[in-house]
Chain A
Amino acid sequence: MNGDRQQWRQHLEQFLRTIQKPGRPLESLGQSDGLVSSGLIDSLALVQIVLYLEETYGIDFAARGFDPDRLASMASILDLIEETR
């Protein structure tokens, strides 16, 4: 599972680089740091993360409901992916 999580994390980081605001180093962000509160993305960019999770991991937000806090940090996104595996 740890290997999977590592792989998901790399994939997620790769994706976040495509939606993050320019000039903000993703590397300086801790796993539990807020993606929105750190200024890496704005709250509207959460739709991009929803699309990413739906397409890549088949997570159905229509069925499970949307909780922005589940997408607040890299760690919480990885937890969400893990839950749905």
Chain B
Amino acid sequence: MKLSRLSQFHENPVVIAWWCARLRRLLEWLTPTRRRLILAVLAVWVGFRRPLKDLAQASELPVPTDGLGGALVIVVLFAFLWFCYKAAASFAALPAAVRRHPILTLHLLYWGVLAILWNSSPAAGLWRSVLLGVGIIFPFLIWRCGYVLLAGQHGRIQGTTFLDHLLTLWPVYGGSNTPYGKGLAYLSRCEAKTPEELARSQLAGLKLLFLCLLWRLLQDLMEALLYGPGDWLTGRLGGRTVGVPRLRELVYEGGQAPLLMAWASIYCEMVWQVLEHAIAGHRIIGILRLFGFNVFRNTYKPLLAESIVEFWNRYYYYFKELLVNFFFMPTFAQLGGVLRKRPQLRLFLAVFAAAFVGNVYYHLLQYETRLVLGDVFGALYQLRCRMFYCLLLVLGIYLSMARAQRRGGQAAAGGPARRLLRIAGVWTFFSLIFIWNVRSGASFLARVDFFLGLFGLS
């Protein structure tokens, strides 16, 4: 009871009152308008810094390296973002086909840019190198622009300015191609309006930042005690490690991997991945909460999930939301016209659209340097292990959802032992499918061999 009160300190009225009393002037000064303005100004800075950084990292491509070229890339990107905002703001005036499929239009536009790059001569000059620069940076923006267009489609852009949206388009709070905190429409719904709400949000943010440090420490402990060959912390903790091999290395051995270590490695990898996502997500969501956007965590106790779908929901929330918003729900809704009498098939296809098509497509866009060079099949080939992982994920999620539907809101049967068994089942499922998700140069077949070896079938 005391522990739960301690962990929920950010909901404790006494703590909130204390925080308010200490920081009253700051909390009152940080009105929603000011907070948005601070984030928007910083977003402009990110909008300059990030493209230049990305261009410098892509030096093997003929992207602009001089000041003028870099400036042009930034101007084109800002111009496109403004155009995207204007399109969303005047959504009703867009052509009917665009109104019906705004996200598809956005992606076709990107692929159109890629097609121009593929069909133009490398000696075409400055415009091509600028377009190339835009092509490698745009995957970071594409899902964020998607949320802006969705806000326009659903009539939630009125009363917002371009500057408001900029804070989510070039987020200073960080993030990958996945927009943590989704778009402005979602952030606004969770935005603190009063100093008390801001205090609660900030305390919740501090809690996440503390957890971020704690999980980082846990990772260090895993590194020191479980994974070999040991580091300075190992020495301080007695000098011995279990010596569990990293999965990314062990999968090379296929069926020859030592059985006990192979099982230990897959479970450890799953826990490691959960910690990785929790650390990255807590930092970003923690900062968002400090600014008064009290949004959901990215990772929320997935290791306690009792079903596959629950784990998927809790493990990497904003990526799952991306897949649900842009793939799952649109597919499910569209199929209503033809598959209303076949709900299970409709559900399966919607899960497939999200967990396979969306997941693979999202990761395809991460191969931006291959894409701009026209090596789409090479990029897809690189994703062959992930495709298999996604297929297994589709099956797991579909069966888990169908099972939950059959239960009709009833709690799963059994006491703590049955609960533990369910949790162990979820751990085992994700640990096993991570064999095809772990970043490693091991081939698909080596991974299959490794998987079979776990059951003595290699």
Contacts and interface: CB of A to CB of B under 8 A. Distances in A.
A and B assemble together: yes
Interface of A: 17-20, 22-23, 34, 37, 42-44, 46-48, 50-51, 54, 60-63, 65-69
A22 B409 contact: yes
A30 to B, nearest CB: 15
B contact patch SS: helix
A43 B313 contact: yes
Residue among A22, A37, A44 having the largest count of chain B Cβ atoms under 10 Å: A44
B409 A60 contact: no
Contact of A65 (B153, B313, B325, B347): B153
Contacts of B356: none
Interface string B213-225: 0000000000000
A46 B343 contact: no
Contacts of A19: 405, 408-409
Nearest to B400: A44
A62 B408 contact: no
Contact of A23 (B332, B347, B411): B411
B86 interface: no
Interface stretch (B199-207, B333-341, B360-368): B333-341
A66 B411 contact: no
A44 B154 contact: no
Contacts of A65: 100, 153, 333
B156 to A, nearest CB: 7
A43 B321 CA distance: 8
A62 B324 contact: no
B328 interface: yes
Contact of A44 (B190, B309, B335): B309
B335 A62 contact: yes
Interface in B174-204: 185, 189-190
